[in-house]
């Protein structure tokens, strides 16, 4: 129940009340004491018993409590205990009837501020009440300051919590930015290294065919060279020139893929015939290798860029020739279903380490070989880009069997697009 400050309608036109007093006194002198207090400007509520006082304290708030305390009064002691435990309790002054030190000490131990002996000296009463009111004021001011400190502490704690949260968020954000910066620096270093490797690779690869071209062209110019020898030298020059042309095409294709400017010219194409012709060309130019070609019967038609698909398969066969064991076969197979065409190229080399199966599709990446065969490291990167541009997939797996000589199988899967579902001629860099 909320408490209210009592009013005193019987005090007439007195000045503003000096304080609210609860007088607990049933003696005849209570009336006189009430009149004196009202005359001094106090608002007075008088009750006859401690029990009535406890009920009154439930409803109203007082600054001072004057409690008559007969000797051995359990009810008065209970009232003092109630006052001591109340929040915003009034300052209690005990009115004693007997000049007993023990009674006064009991009252003070029970929580009384002071002890006045009846009959009460009016001046002593006024002085005691003034001191009690000052104590009351100081208590209220202290309580207010404590409350303000508690509010300020709560606000400061909340501010610290918010500040710590912002610091934590800023720290996480900074760590993420540092990680992103480290990653960007790492990629930049990789790009720089790839650039250096690319320059070295281009110089090395260009030097490979240029040397034979220059040498055989010089031999063909000799007056002593027969027509038969000149023809042989020119064939070798053409072969090396074609090798250089393929390298330039690979570099151009890789550049377009990385820049997102790769284009397709799609049309219905018999892939079975195109792949079989490609295998025949390899068999004629690599007579030291055995090529096995398997396919479904009849034409296998899909809407693709035939030249690009041939380029992709050529890269896979070149790769198989490079890594297969001498004397073993290179297998090429093309199969078709209603929805897709699969082209598989397999060799019988050492296979590909599981940890390298994704890395080999990155540009300028080559697996180490004992014979240190040269290459641009672009073949599989270009092949995957071409297949991705056709909305297809390129996968790789090792054959089962002897881990030393088991080989790898690369499989291209292409959708058999209908005329209304032709892929876009503009493609982006493969992911």
Residue-wise pLDDT tens digits, 224-279:
888 888 888 888 888 888 878 877 777 777 777 776 777 888 899 999 999 999 99
The 3-state DSSP composition of the chain as helix, strand, coil percent (nearest 5) reads: 55, 20, 30
pLDDT of amino acid 152: 92
Q: Does residue 30 share a domain with residue 53?
A: yes
Q: How confident is the model at residue 383 (pLDDT cuts 50, 70, 90)?
A: confident
Q: Does residue 396 share a domain with residue 269?
A: yes
Q: What is the pTM of this model?
A: 0.48
Q: 250 or 411, which is more confident?
A: 411
Q: 11 or 186, which is more confident?
A: 186
Q: Does residue 396 share a domain with residue 273?
A: yes
CA gap 219, 211 in Å, rounded = 12
Q: 382 or 202, which is more confident?
A: 382
| 109, part of any domain | yes
pLDDT of amino acid 365: 61
Please identify, among 214, 238, 259, the residue that sits at the C-terminal boundary of a domain: 259
pLDDT of amino acid 150: 93
CATH code of residue 414:
3.30.565.10
Question: Which tens digit of pLDDT belongs to each residue from 100-121?
Answer: 666 677 777 777 888 888 788 8
Given a cut of 60, whether residue 10 has pLDDT beyond it is no
Using a 10 angstrom Cβ sphere, with 0-12 exposed, 13-18 middle and 19 or more buried, the burial of residue 224 is exposed
| 1, part of any domain | no
Closest C-alpha among 55, 105, 46 to residue 75: 55
Identify whether 387 is preceded by a cis peptide bond (ω within 30 of 0): no
Q: Does residue 110 share a domain with residue 53?
A: yes
Q: Does residue 254 share a domain with residue 299?
A: no
| 167, part of any domain | no
Domain containing 238 equals 201-259
Q: What percent of the chain has pLDDT over 90?
A: 29
Tokens standing for residue 77 = 């002691």
| 417, part of any domain | yes
Question: Which tens digit of pLDDT belongs to each residue from 144-159?
Answer: 899 999 999 999 999 9
Q: Does residue 407 share a domain with residue 382?
A: yes
How many domains does the chain divide into? 3
Please identify, among 87, 120, 153, the residue that sits at the C-terminal boundary of a domain: 120
| 159, part of any domain | no
Q: Does residue 98 share a domain with residue 32?
A: yes
Q: Does residue 269 share a domain with residue 379?
A: yes
Q: 203 or 304, which is more confident?
A: 304
Q: Does residue 292 share a domain with residue 206?
A: no
Average pLDDT of the residues of the chain: 81
Please identify, among 93, 120, 147, the residue that sits at the C-terminal boundary of a domain: 120
What is the pLDDT averaged over residues 16-39?
A: 85
Q: Does residue 208 share a domain with residue 290?
A: no
pLDDT of amino acid 58: 87
**384 close to 427: Cβ distance less than 8 angstroms:** no
Given a cut of 70, whether residue 127 has pLDDT beyond it is yes
| 145, part of any domain | no
Alpha carbon dihedral 301, 307, 308, 312, in 10-degree steps, equals 90
| 247, part of any domain | yes
| 2, part of any domain | no
pLDDT of amino acid 198: 67
337-354: burial string, b at 16+ Cβ within 10 Å, e else = eeeebbbbbbbbbbbbee
**239 close to 286: Cβ distance less than 8 angstroms:** no
Q: How do 267-270 and 301-304 pair as beta strands?
A: antiparallel
CATH code of residue 216:
1.10.287.130
């Amino acid at each position: 129940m909320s408490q209210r400050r009592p009013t005193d309608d019987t005090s007439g036109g007195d000045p503003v009340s000096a304080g609210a007093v609860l007088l607990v006194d049933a003696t005849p002198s209570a009336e006189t004491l009430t009149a004196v207090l009202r005359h001094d400007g106090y608002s007075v509520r008088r009750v006859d018993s401690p029990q009535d006082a406890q009920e009154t304290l439930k409803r109203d708030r007082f600054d001072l409590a004057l409690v008559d305390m007969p000797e051995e009064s359990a009810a008065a002691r209970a009232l003092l205990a109630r006052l001591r435990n109340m929040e915003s309790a009034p300052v209690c002054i005990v009115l004693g009837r007997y000049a007993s030190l023990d009674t006064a000490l009991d009252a003070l131990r029970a929580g009384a501020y002071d002890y006045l002996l009846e009959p009460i000296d009016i001046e002593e009463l006024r002085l005691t009440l003034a001191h009690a009111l000052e104590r009351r004021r100081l208590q209220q001011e202290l309580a207010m300051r404590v409350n303000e400190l508690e509010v300020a502490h709560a606000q400061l704690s909340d501010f610290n919590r918010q500040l710590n949260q912002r610091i934590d968020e800023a720290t996480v954000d900074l760590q993420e930015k540092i990680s992103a910066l480290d990653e960007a620096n790492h990629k930049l270093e990789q790009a720089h290294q790839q650039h250096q490797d690319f320059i070295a690779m281009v110089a090395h690869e260009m030097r490979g065919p240029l040397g034979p071209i220059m040498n055989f062209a010089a031999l063909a110019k000799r007056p002593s060279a027969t027509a038969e020898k000149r023809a042989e030298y020119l064939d070798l020059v053409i072969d090396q020139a074609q090798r250089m042309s393929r390298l330039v095409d690979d570099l151009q294709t890789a550049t377009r893929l990385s820049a997102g400017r790769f284009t397709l010219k799609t049309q219905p194409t018999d892939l079975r015939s195109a792949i079989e012709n490609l295998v025949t060309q390899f068999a004629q130019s690599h007579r030291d290798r055995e090529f096995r070609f398997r396919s479904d019967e009849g034409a296998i038609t899909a809407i693709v860029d035939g030249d690009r698909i041939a380029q992709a398969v050529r890269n896979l066969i070149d790769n198989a020739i490079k890594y297969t064991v001498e004397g073993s076969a290179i297998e090429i197979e093309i199969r078709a279903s209603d929805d897709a065409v699969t082209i598989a190229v397999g060799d019988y080399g050492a296979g590909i380490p599981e940890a390298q199966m994704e890395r080999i599709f990155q540009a300028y990446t080559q697996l180490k070989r004992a014979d240190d065969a040269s290459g641009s490291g672009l073949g599989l990167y270009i092949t995957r880009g071409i297949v991705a541009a056709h909305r297809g997939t390129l996968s790789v797996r090792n054959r089962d069997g002897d881990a030393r000589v088991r080989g790898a199988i690369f499989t291209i899967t292409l959708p058999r697009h209908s005329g209304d579902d032709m892929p876009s001629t503009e493609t982006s860099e493969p992911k």
